Amino acid sequence: MRFEGVIRTWDDERGFGFIEPVLGGQEIFVHVKAFPRGAARPTVGQRVSFEVEVESRGRKRACRVQPVRPASLRMKQQRDSPAQWGFATLLAIPAFLVLYLVIGILWRPPSWFGLLYLAISILTYLAYGVDKAAARKGAWRISESALHGLSLAGGWPGALLAQQLLRHKSSKRQFRTAFWATVAANVVAFVFVCSPIGAPLWAAW
């Protein structure tokens, strides 16, 4: 079982000190050998996590000690790390590629359809990146309606990648609901335009 505590005393020359558990109770002896090899020297006030073992003389001591990052740093790393891929998120782009391939075999839409999706997706990804940078600086933001408009126009693959890799707009439920609506609308429109019914709309191009 792991505990968290704060190093209250530390003798750097002798290589030991005492940890005060966050949950209270007696201070726990800790030796420098309990820290990972190559770790920075412990300091008074440092927050750590640790396990407890009983040495041969019956005294408790800390073992397998790990420094604990400040909460603000952990939150920043969590914000900057890629979001986890949900089932629908993971399959959306591959499923669309399969659909595009099937439609290409059946109805042979023009090749520029694929190039258009790629171009708008790149533009959408960049828009998400600009919006995230603006959010950090408190600068002018790109409106959510504009981001949804890009997704509806065919940039939703780029939006999906930006949401996951940039960790932007990936957890706001209302935004995600509207986003998936744009994905569904775009895919339906794509199938219709490529079908024999919709072909006259682009055949003259």
Residue for token pair 């895919």? 187
Q: Give pLDDT tens digits for 178-191.
A: 999 999 999 999 99
Tokens representing 204 are 């003259």
Q: Give pLDDT tens digits for 9-68.
A: 999 889 999 999 988 778 899 999 999 888 888 989 888 999 999 887 888 899 999 988
pTM (two decimals): 0.61
Distance of alpha carbon 189 from alpha carbon 156, whole angstroms: 13
- Give the pLDDT score at 16: 93
Distance of alpha carbon 63 from alpha carbon 51, whole angstroms: 5
Distance of alpha carbon 174 from alpha carbon 196, whole angstroms: 36
- Give the pLDDT score at 168: 82
Greatest C-alpha distance within the chain? 90
Average pLDDT (189-194) is: 94
Domain boundaries, the chain: 3-68, 82-203
DSSP state at residue 47? E
Distance of alpha carbon 47 from alpha carbon 70, whole angstroms: 8
- Give the pLDDT score at 83: 58
CATH number of 3-68: 2.40.50.140
Write the DSSP assignment of 54-97 as a string of letters.
E-TTS-EEEEEEEE---HHHHHHHHHHSPPPPPHHHHHHHHHHH
Write the DSSP assignment of 13-43 as a string of letters.
TTTEEEEEETT-SS-EEEEGGGSPTTPPPP-
- Give the pLDDT score at 73: 46
Distance of alpha carbon 165 from alpha carbon 154, whole angstroms: 19
The answer to whether 157 and 121 have CB atoms below 8 angstroms apart is yes
Q: 205 in helix, strand or coil?
A: coil
The answer to whether 150 and 186 have CB atoms below 8 angstroms apart is no
DSSP state at residue 6? E
Q: Give pLDDT tens digits for 106-139.
A: 999 888 999 999 999 999 999 999 998 887 777 8
